[in-house]
């Protein structure tokens, strides 16, 4: 069974960039095969990884309402669409969930999506999910247990309190998440002791702190895939230390 890692956090915290670092770490350390799942409605993990997306699970779900060929069962058709949506790269595969269910959602398609995503993930040693902050998308579209959830925050009171609310949502949804830890990103200088005290007060485990890094900012500004970040820059070195500690 795959070891499943989800990454969550509010927009602008560097969540997807960190997910790219995580995929790169797993690949370079021989922790393969890897399935990367972009489960954020604002899907852009492919940009971090530098790959093109041709189809999403959301696309297939919408097509299923009207485009299943005569003589083909919905089960067979949808399984074929899921397989076609997988983007195969050298070190990992990527699948994009796409838009969540909207008005008039189709329960049969959603049920099939859950079934075939679960079947798909059984083929991998590691599954990495770039998830939206609220976690509802993960709850709706997969039934896989999550072994480790990294919540990413900026070094502000508002950001850390938002991370605390993600913890509350996890509990409210009853998601089976075995371990949850906070990563505070883009810290200038030393991490403020008041912020550390707030993390403890909220009840979050602090996995680590990543420094603000000019190289990452330059990659973002130029639109370069951040999976190509050098291993020797401060933020990547610290991220890899965190991954080595938390991921078997």
Strand order in the sheet with 206-211: 87-88, 93-96, 34-39, 126-131, 3-8, 148-153, 180-187, 206-211
Average the pLDDT over 94-99 and give the result: 84
Q: Is the pLDDT of residue 84 over 50?
A: yes
Range of the domain at 143: 3-246
CATH of the domain at 68: 3.40.50.300
Q: What total number of domains does the chain contain?
A: 1
- For residue 113, name the pLDDT band (cuts at 50, 70, 90): low
Residues 212-221: tens digit of each pLDDT: 999 999 998 8
Residues 6+ apart with CB under 8 A from 135: 8, 166, 169, 170, 173, 175
pLDDT at 139: 57
Residue 84, burial from CB neighbour count under 10 angstroms (0-12, 13-18, 19+): exposed
- What is the distance between the alpha carbons of residues 28 and 6, in angstroms, rounded to a whole number? 19
For 196: left if phi > 0, alpha if psi spans -120 to 50, otherwise beta; the answer is alpha
Kindly give the pairing relationship between strand 93-96 and strand 3-8: unpaired
């Amino acid at each position: 069974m795959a070891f499943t890692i989800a990454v969550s956090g509010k927009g602008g915290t560097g969540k997807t960039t960190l997910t790219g670092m995580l995929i790169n770490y797993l690949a370079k350390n021989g922790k393969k095969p890897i399935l990367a799942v972009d489960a954020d409605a604002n899907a852009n993990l492919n940009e971090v990884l530098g790959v093109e997306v041709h189809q999403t699970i959301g696309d297939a779900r919408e097509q299923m309402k009207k485009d299943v060929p005569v003589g083909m069962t919905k089960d067979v058709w949808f399984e074929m669409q899921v397989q076609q949506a997988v983007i195969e790269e050298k070190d990992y595969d990527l699948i994009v969930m796409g838009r969540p269910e909207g008005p008039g959602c189709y329960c049969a398609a959603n049920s099939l999506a859950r079934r075939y995503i679960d079947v798909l993930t059984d083929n991998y040693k590691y599954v990495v999910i770039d998830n939206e902050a609220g976690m509802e998308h993960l709850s709706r579209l997969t039934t896989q247990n999550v072994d480790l959830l990294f919540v990413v925050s900026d070094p502000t009171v508002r950001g850390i309190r938002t991370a605390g609310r993600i913890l509350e949502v996890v509990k409210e949804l009853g998601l089976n998440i075995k371990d949850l830890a906070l990563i505070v990103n883009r810290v200038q200088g030393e991490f403020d002791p008041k912020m550390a005290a707030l993390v403890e007060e909220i009840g979050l485990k602090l996995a680590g702190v990543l420094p603000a890094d000019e190289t990452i900012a330059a990659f973002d500004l130029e639109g370069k895939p951040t999976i190509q970040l050098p291993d020797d820059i401060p933020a990547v070195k610290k991220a890899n230390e965190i991954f080595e500690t938390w991921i078997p």
